[in-house]
């Protein structure tokens, strides 16, 4: 599993509250990704990082921010959670190169916004 | 923007029947990857295709990359209950680090 852990694994929160999901890796890989998974939409890229302090937007970045202050941690923040952000969030790392490496995924974080 | 269309969205088959899922892109791909996600699990890498017309096999799974590098397919011969899950293709945009996934095909195998 390339040493990826996500926390928390489950969270229930209320609309308007801030939420931070953490992705931690132990193998010093450069490229990290946050996806959300919803029925009928597959996996959609939220944000990704190609190094410390280097991040960029994905397909569905509105309402989300990320930070990567050290190689091992990639944080996803919902500044003010909305019900439409209820989803399963997966973190992934690319192993083997930026455009050809395979992605290893964490176990996922299930977020429910009431 | 990038669009990766994957069909069908769902497929129910009797155990022993074959299964195929197709992935189509609006742009020429540099490479394509396939992943499998078991129910309740996380996606797991299966294979990567790079060359035009490439065909790769993994036991009962056959992966193909189109000659024009705009489509790909995954074919499973004689499905088993262990094949249940959702199969995703993913393209990587040349020059970026983005992995964009198709919408997936959910396979259910009836014993």
pLDDT tens, position by position, B10-55: 999 999 999 999 999 988 888 999 999 999 999 999 999 999 999 9
| Residue B97 confidence class, pLDDT cut points 50, 70, 90 | confident
Range of the domain at B69: 4-110
**Cα–Cα distance, B73 to B88 (Å, whole number):** 10
Looking at CATH, the fold of the domain delimited by A4-113 is given as Immunoglobulin-like (2.60.40)
Residue among B92, B97, B99 minimizing CB distance to A50: B97
Nearest to A91 by CA among A76, A111, A70, A71: A76
The answer on pLDDT for B103 being more than 70 is yes
pLDDT of residue A1: 59
* CA–CA separation, A93 and B71 (whole Å): 25
A9-65 pLDDT per residue, tens? 999 999 999 999 999 999 889 999 999 999 878 899 999 999 999 999 999 999 999
Q: Is the dihedral of CA A59, A64, A68, A71 positive or negative?
A: negative
**Domains contained in chain B, number:** 1
Of the residues B21, B65, B99, the best mutation for testing chain A's interface (the one with the most A CB atoms within 10 Å of its CB) is B99
- pLDDT tens-digit readout, A60-93: 999 999 999 999 999 999 999 999 999 999 999 9
- Any residues with CB less than 8 A from the CB of A31 and at least 6 apart, and which? A48, A49, A50, A93, A94, A98, A101, B97
Burial of residue A62 (CB within 10 Å: 0-12, 13-18, 19+) is exposed
**CB atoms B35 and A94 under 8 Å:** no
Q: Average pLDDT of A93-106? A: 86
- Tell me which residues of chain B have a C-beta less than 8 Å from any C-beta of chain A: 1, 6, 9, 30-31, 33, 35, 42-45, 48, 50, 88, 90, 92, 94-104
pLDDT for A84 equals 97
Q: Using CA atoms, how far apart are residues B57 and B59, in angstroms rounded to an integer?
A: 6
Write the DSSP string, A6-60: EE-SEEEE-TT--EEEEEEESS--S-EEEEEEETTTEEEEEEEEEETTEEEE-SS
Determine contact, residues B84/B109, Cβ cutoff 8 Å. yes
A100 contacts B97? CB cut-off 8 A? no
- CATH number, domain with residue B29: 2.60.40.10
d(CA A18, CA B91): 32
Query: CB–CB of B43 and A48 under 8 A?
Result: no
Task: State the Cα–Cα distance between residues A26 and A37, nearest whole angstrom.
Answer: 24
Whether pLDDT at B96 is above 90: no
Query: Residue B3 has what pLDDT?
Result: 67
A:B CB pairs within 8 Å: 63
Contact B94 A99 (CB under 8 A): yes
Query: pLDDT tens, B45-92?
Result: 999 999 999 999 999 999 999 999 999 999 999 999 999 999 999 998
pLDDT number for residue A96: 82
**Cβ contact (<8 Å) for B102 and A44?**
no
Spatial neighbors of A7 by CB under 8 A, at least 6 apart, are: A21, A22, A24, A109
Q: Residue A98 — very low, low, confident or very high, per pLDDT cuts 50/70/90? A: low
Residue B2 has pLDDT above 60, yes or no: no
């Amino acid at each position: 599993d390339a040493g990826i852990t996500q926390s928390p694994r489950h969270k229930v929160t209320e609309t308007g509250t801030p939420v931070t999901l953490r992705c931690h890796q132990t193998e010093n890989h450069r490229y990290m990704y946050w996806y959300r998974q919803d029925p009928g939409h597959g996996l959609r890229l939220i944000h990704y990082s190609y190094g410390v302090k280097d991040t960029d937007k994905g397909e569905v970045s509105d309402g989300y921010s990320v930070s990567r202050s050290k190689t091992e941690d990639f944080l996803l923040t919902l500044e003010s959670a909305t019900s439409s952000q209820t989803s399963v969030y997966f973190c992934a790392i690319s192993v083997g190169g930026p455009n050809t490496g395979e992605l290893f995924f964490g176990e996922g974080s299930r977020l429910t916004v009431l | 923007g990038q669009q990766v269309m994957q069909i069908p969205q769902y497929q129910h088959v009797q155990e022993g029947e074959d299964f195929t899922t197709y992935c189509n892109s609006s742009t020429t791909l540099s490479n394509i990857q396939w992943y499998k996600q078991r129910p309740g699990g996380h996606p797991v890498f299966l294979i990567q295709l790079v060359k035009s017309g490439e065909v790769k096999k993994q036991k009962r799974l056959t992966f193909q990359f189109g000659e024009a590098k705009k489509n790909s397919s995954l074919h499973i011969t004689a499905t088993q209950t262990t094949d249940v899950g959702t199969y995703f293709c993913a393209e990587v945009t040349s020059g970026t680090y983005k992995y964009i996934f198709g919408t997936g095909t959910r396979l259910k195998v009836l014993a």
